[in-house]
Amino acid sequence: MPTSPQRGRFITLEGGEGAGKSTQLRRLADTLRETLRARGAELVTTREPGGSPGAEEIRALLVTGETGRWSPVTEALLHTAARRDHLERTVWPALEAGNWVLCDRFFDSTMAYQGYGLGLGRGSVETLQTAALGGFRPDLTLILDIDVETGLRRAVARHGGEDRYERMDIGFHQRLRDGFLDIARREPERCAVVDADADPDTVQARIWSAVSSRLGLPS
């Protein structure tokens, strides 16, 4: 876990299927790179599950195949193993070097997907998170919130191959959304909920407003 006083900042984007995270991450990355360049820092973009060679191999096991191929406990263990490798090989070295890291999903997704969506519960997921992360937390988590049915329509329109979670039932997706909103209510200092049911430019402006105000960047 990074301890340098010059440590960079760690920002995560979260949300259910079809919330627009990938699009908004690219847009936020472009803006952040310009802002950080003046400070002599760089931006690293990454994702979970994945973000390191070993974690990408685990990703393939999680996002493809039959919806019931893993039990909730097994899924959470796989995500946590991938996360630890990602932190050790990608995130922590970048932060120690004074760079900022922008990540598409992090530990809140495990809590929301496996803890709430699949019913594993907060306690079991928190135990795994503590073992893998200790006290490490993002500096800011942006939770893109959207109506479940709207998000699923968007997700289906992408026609991507990594659709295992998208194919889960509507009840799972509603629990998932409720889980993310509950996480935000529990940790308002870290989390900012962004209404993602708008055009990409509007959502981008909402995100930058949250980032600039929370992290002291020019608006």
pLDDT at 64: 87
Give Cα separations from 92 to 16, 101, 126 (angstroms): 26, 9, 20
109 belongs to an annotated ligand binding site: no
pTM: 0.91
* Cα(202)–Cα(213) distance, integer angstroms: 17
20 belongs to an annotated ligand binding site: yes
pLDDT at 5: 47
The highest-level CATH class for domain 10-215 is: alpha beta
54 belongs to an annotated ligand binding site: no
51 belongs to an annotated ligand binding site: no
8 belongs to an annotated ligand binding site: no
117 belongs to an annotated ligand binding site: no
pLDDT at 157: 72
16 belongs to an annotated ligand binding site: yes
22 belongs to an annotated ligand binding site: yes
Q: Where are the alpha helices (DSSP H) in the chain?
A: 21-37, 53-63, 72-86, 92-96, 107-110, 122-133, 148-158, 170-186, 200-215
Q: Quick: pLDDT tens for 118-152.
A: 999 999 999 999 999 999 999 999 999 999 888 88
Spans of the chain, pLDDT less than 50: 4-5
pLDDT at 68: 87
Domain limits of the chain?
10-215
* Cα(147)–Cα(53) distance, integer angstroms: 34
Please say whether the beta carbons of 16 and 48 come within 8 A: no
pLDDT at 159: 59
